[in-house]
Amino acid sequence: MTGDVKTFEIVFEGRGAASGKMRNDIQVNWPAQGESFELATDEGPFHGGDGTAPPPLALFTAGLIGCLMTQIRAFSKRLKIPVDGLAVSAQLRWKGEQIGREPYVSAPLGFGLDVEMQSSASREDQIRLLEAAKKGCFIEQTLAVGNVVTHRLKTEDGWIDV
Amino acid sequence: MTGDVKTFEIVFEGRGAASGKMRNDIQVNWPAQGESFELATDEGPFHGGDGTAPPPLALFTAGLIGCLMTQIRAFSKRLKIPVDGLAVSAQLRWKGEQIGREPYVSAPLGFGLDVEMQSSASREDQIRLLEAAKKGCFIEQTLAVGNVVTHRLKTEDGWIDV
């Protein structure tokens, strides 16, 4: 296929403030859309929190599922592959490794997504739609590659890279 | 340092169902803890949704921020590095590339986290705490490496890998 190549950029910003024992109140902004969202994370009593909000990994899980589902429905229209109903199940696995009483080190083990489309489209078209959604999903494309996450720490001399 | 090596596994499961135009209702379970969380994503009118819930990338942003903050506070206790107040700001950037009217392909551009600790600890100890939190944060450790995300599609012949 030929056509003009267009690129666009998506920027999300967020700021979290520690509030309860383990609770974080997090405002997320999507400046280009002028949208703002109030979110929060917490931990259950087992982890020293008050269970007032989902843990961070629950938001991550929902974000991953929602991202793929959104792209399936958005690209359904664009590719003219009808989807009348959609459910996606996911399993996300990590491990932690701890030496003695040191802080543990975590690592991902695997992520799996099961997609159920209610669709009159052929299997081939459903596969084509799913493949397009995978490539369009910002979170999946992020997980697929090694990313550099940069950190700065505020000090009395200003921000330093850590 | 010496000590026994312990490993543990964290498994999150989720199931999303398409409801509104672009809304997804997503139940996330943490079976080992017997915890369950009701979450949702939506898109604003610009993207064909009704704006009834944050978009998936807002959950992702809050999950990333909350994950690092949780580990900073958890490891603060373990490392005996006091943290009296904590705020973390983040900027997450992606790009999309589209040829003609084809579905766009997305890619991550960069993730940055700015950490402000209210702490009587030395700068060296604050850095040590932040380094430990980075290694313990499940989401950061996931972003750092290339992950295989597997997909299955339900067909009348059962699940097939896509």
SS3 A147: coil
The alpha carbon of residue A85 is apart from the nearest alpha carbon of chain B, in Å, by: 7
For residue A26, list its beta bridge partners: A16, A39
Tell me the average pLDDT across B140-159: 94
* Residue B57 in this model has a pLDDT that exceeds 60: yes
Would you call A4 and B99 a contact, using CB atoms and an 8 Å cutoff? Answer: yes
> Could you tell me which chain B residue has the CA closest to the CA of A15?
B89
Contacts B48 to A, Cβ<8 Å: 74, 77
The alpha carbon of residue A157 is apart from the nearest alpha carbon of chain B, in Å, by: 11
Identity of the residue in B47, B57, B150 whose CB atom sits nearest the CB atom of A63: B57
How confident is the model at residue B2, as a pLDDT?
62
d(CA B58, CA A105) in angstroms, rounded, equals 26
Tell me the average pLDDT across B78-83: 97
pLDDT in tens, B106-137: 999 999 999 999 999 999 999 999 999 999 99
Handedness of CA B83, B93, A26, B22 (dihedral sign): negative
SS3 A39: strand
Contacts A66 to B, Cβ<8 Å: 16, 24, 26, 40-41, 55-56, 59
Identity of the residue in A58, A62, A107 whose CB atom sits nearest the CB atom of B30: A58
Contacts B112 to A, Cβ<8 Å: 149-152
Tell me the average pLDDT across B131-159: 95
How confident is the model at residue A128, as a pLDDT?
98
Amino acid identity at B131: E
How confident is the model at residue A1, as a pLDDT?
52
Would you call A146 and B148 a contact, using CB atoms and an 8 Å cutoff? Answer: no
How confident is the model at residue B150, as a pLDDT?
96
How confident is the model at residue A3, as a pLDDT?
79
Low-confidence ranges of chain A (pLDDT < 50): none
Question: pTM for the whole thing?
Answer: 0.96
The three-state DSSP-derived secondary structure of chain B is CCCCEEEEEEEEEEEEEECCCCCEEEEEEEHHHCEEEEEEECCCHHHCCCCCCCCHHHHHHHHHHHHHHHHHHHHHHHHCCCCCEEEEEEEEEEEEEEECCCCCEEEEEEEEEEEEEECCCCHHHHHHHHHHHHHHCHHHHHHCCCCCEEEEEEECCEEEEC
Would you call A145 and B108 a contact, using CB atoms and an 8 Å cutoff? Answer: yes
With cut-offs at 50, 70 and 90, classify the pLDDT of residue B101: confident
The alpha carbon of residue B52 is apart from the nearest alpha carbon of chain A, in Å, by: 11
* Residue B3 in this model has a pLDDT that exceeds 90: no
How confident is the model at residue B1, as a pLDDT?
52
